[in-house]
Structure 1
Amino acid sequence: MPVSKLTPQEIVDSIGELPPMPTAISDVINACDDQDMTVGQLSQIVLKDQSLTANILKLANSAFYGHARRVTTVTEAVVLLGFSAIKSLAISSHTARLLNRSLPGYGLPAGQLWHQSMCVAFTARRIAVEVQLAPVEEAFVAGLLHDIGKVILSSHLEAAFNEVQQLAMDRQMPFHHIEAEILGFDHAELGARIAAKWSFPPELEEAIRCHHDPEQATLKPLLPHVVHLADSACMMLGQGIGSDGLAYEVCPSTLEALEFTPERMMELMDDIAPMLAADSFGIE
């Protein structure tokens, strides 16, 4: 198979190719964390960047937030959604540029990873509310970034895509197991390193690293279970399957940890299915 394992240094070098957080988005994130920040002050910081303003308004009007009336100003968005949600939407605005790419190494056309990541983010937030895992926006961000490692790995898998896909099918193994076998690591591990590069909390790094194996988490054990369940539910509904959906199953430990019966899982999927179909998350 024409794929060689990368060294840890090569992994770090690959992560270095990713753009840093733009100043406008960093300013919004820092403002959201400032306990003395007012709604008016935060709104003014957001308004300094036209693209960020447009993206926050588009996402604030997503079916997932379910507001009866349309949100037309940043101030309305801040009041209705809260600082934590605005922070999540700012992060979403930045990652859209990365996740919107086509990923031939995973058989994903342009935009599909972005849509699937947003679906998982909103579903993870929905589950976090249900199981009372606070803060719920942490689940949103973990869901959003859970597959960001694929952005780096796609180019390394592209040359051997057909062989890797066939191997996963022949062995009936999840795609991330094949990644680890041929590369020495998987997209979840690399995604956690990207989260560290962007200075996200260790709990979020762990949630990304363990979203396929949530029982391995120790820092905030329920968070990766929430992301794993959200990812599984979205895949079952046909969102962003690609080659990574081959042989993908829900971990029994996740259903147990979150106290989700098969019936409760079906109720979740029934709830989110219309919203997944309705939204394109078309932000710039």
Structure 2
Amino acid sequence: MNRHRMIKTIDGISDLPTLPTVAMAVNSLLQDVDTPIEHLVDLLEKDQSIVLKMLRLVNSSFYGFKSRITNLRHAVTLMGYSTVQNAVVTVSVIDSLKTKNALKGFDISRFWTHSICVAVMSRHLAAQTCLAVPEEAFTAGLVHDIGKVVLVNHFPEVCLSLMETAMDGNVTFYTAEKTEDTYPHNLIGSNLARRWMLPESLKMAIRHHHGGIAQGVDGTLPGLIAISDTLVNVMNNLPGHRLIPEIMPEAVRGPVTGILKDSASWFPDVKREMAAACDFFNKG
């Protein structure tokens, strides 16, 4: 199935993955920066599952608050709207994206392990370089590959062919998509992010985590996600992935290159953070 037929099919799909109703409403509400805190708290409290997950998240090592946060209003006041929105997406997205089809070669648990590891790496690079807000970088890393779940659920034969092409040619999945002229997972993912009303920065990170961002557009967050994705894939010896400084996005090349030269001093800690994050999110 070529790109144009895939686009037409996606436009007609009525059962694409959805975020919880409250999460969608939060994304809509926070498009207005003047939203009163009372409105946001009242909305979130309509889904106690999200509230409990958020409190568990903000009291974890991810945020590192010194005192325990026991209520939602306190959490929202401390975190600020942008961080709240990232937290809501973070606690909602893994439950929202399930595979309907058992596809040989695609393991949803492995998919989320990769996504979580990219999220942790992205947060670390963002914190060390000050190029992006670490919590936003974490969320962007977590959702960067969401288009692949749509591929598995709605285009299983295409996805299987792409995985075989990547394996046989010792190339990346994205290279296989370009070779076979399919509608790539990054564009499918950004389409889904638009339907979820995610912030523009997250949509851009999903859309451009394999590059191709227009000149004059801020490519910092997409660049961090691209580098983190490559680093995690290289770490796992996946075919076709190489980190070459010359092809890093210009917006992040200098700061990140300096951090990578000293990777021996920080990588063991990041690897432990990855393991802890996978354990945290696997517990639900």
Q: TM-score range by the shorter chain?
A: 0.7 to 0.9
Mapped to 1, the partners of 2:230 and 2:88 lie a distance apart of 25
Unmatched 5+ stretches in structure 1: none
Q: Which moved more, 1:192-201 or 1:63-72?
A: 63-72
Aligned to 1:256: 253
Deviation, 1:31, is 5.0
Aligned to 1:131: 129
Q: Which moved more, 1:61-70 or 1:169-178?
A: 61-70
Q: 1:147 to 1:218 in 2, by over 3 A?
A: farther
Aligned to 2:168: 170
Q: 1:36 to 1:142 in 2, by over 3 A?
A: same
Provide the TM-score with structure 1 as the length reference.
0.78
Q: 1:103 to 1:214 in 2, by over 3 A?
A: farther
Q: 1:236 to 1:267 in 2, by over 3 A?
A: farther
Q: 1:217 to 1:237 in 2, by over 3 A?
A: farther
Aligned 8 A contact 2:144 2:186 in 1: yes
Q: 1:249 to 1:72 in 2, by over 3 A?
A: farther
**Would you say 1:114 and 2:107 are equivalent positions?**
no
* Alignment: residue pair count: 275
Deviation, 1:105, is 4.6
Match of 1:95 among 93, 99, 109: 93
Provide the TM-score with structure 2 as the length reference.
0.78
Alpha-carbon displacement from aligned partner over 1:100-157 (angstroms, at most 9, x marks no partner): 4477558343333334323323432332233223455443332222101001111466
1:246 alignment partner AA: P
SS in 2 for 1:260: helix
SS in 2 for 1:26: helix
Alpha-carbon displacement from aligned partner over 1:156-201 (angstroms, at most 9, x marks no partner): 6644766544432332211111123335221112112222233345
Aligned 8 A contact 2:120 2:270 in 1: no
2:151 alignment partner AA: L
Deviation, 1:227, is 0.7
Alpha-carbon displacement from aligned partner over 1:5-37 (angstroms, at most 9, x marks no partner): 2512113224x4224444322343355555455
Q: 1:77 to 1:37 in 2, by over 3 A?
A: same
Q: 1:257 to 1:191 in 2, by over 3 A?
A: farther
Q: 1:44 to 1:98 in 2, by over 3 A?
A: closer
Aligned to 1:13: 12
Deviation, 1:235, is 3.1
CA RMSD of aligned residues (A): 3.3
Aligned 8 A contact 1:206 1:217 in 2: no
